[in-house]
Amino acid sequence: MDLINVVERSFANEKVASYPKFKAGDTITVTLKIKEGDKYRLQKFRGVVIQISGATPFTKTFTVRKISGGIGVERIFPYHSPAIDSIELNKVGKVRRARIFYLRDLQGKKARIKEKKFSAKVEIPATEPATEA
């Protein structure tokens, strides 16, 4: 058991700490490093997270779904993959389930996820009247 943890930690990605916290229903953009020949390029994959699975942090994966040309495309990313350059959180979705596989059967406007609204209360500090001496 201890040997497995040592091997898993050796393959850990240092960038994981900079990833935003996201859950199922959120829209994210995953930037991947793609190798073509001897060069690397960055490719973005934007879609809705439909599930996050994995028992330990090193076996954790997340599935992202997008519609490309009218066809649904799903991609599974290991959380500690060295191919992931960055993850950006675009929208926070309002869903009541951890695995939203029902999106696979929906099309058009029915496939939209409501966005969570935040009411940021801005407190203005009370100014004291200036006293002249």
- The pLDDT of residue 46 is 96
Rounded to 5°, angle at Cα 114 from 112 and 116 = 150
Among 122, 121, 100, CA closest to 111: 100
- The pLDDT of residue 41 is 94
The pTM score is 0.77
Rounded CA gap, 69 and 94, in Å?
A: 26
- Output the CATH code of domain 2-110: 2.30.30.790
- Give me the tens of pLDDT residue by residue for the chain, a chain 133 residues long: 688 778 777 777 777 778 889 899 999 999 999 999 999 999 999 999 999 998 877 888 999 999 998 889 999 999 888 899 999 999 898 989 899 998 888 888 888 888 887 655 556 666 666 666 5
Please give the structure tokens belonging to residue 38: 């001897």
**DSSP character for 5?**
H
For 84, residues 6+ apart whose C-beta sits below 8 A from its C-beta are 13, 15, 30, 31, 32, 33, 77
- The pLDDT of residue 12 is 74
- The pLDDT of residue 28 is 94
What's the Cα-to-Cα distance from 32 to each of 5, 37, 54, 75, 81, rounded to whole Å? 26, 16, 21, 12, 10
Q: Where are the beta strands (DSSP E) in the chain?
A: 27-36, 39-53, 61-68, 71-78, 84-91
Helix (H) or strand (E) run with residue 23 in it: none
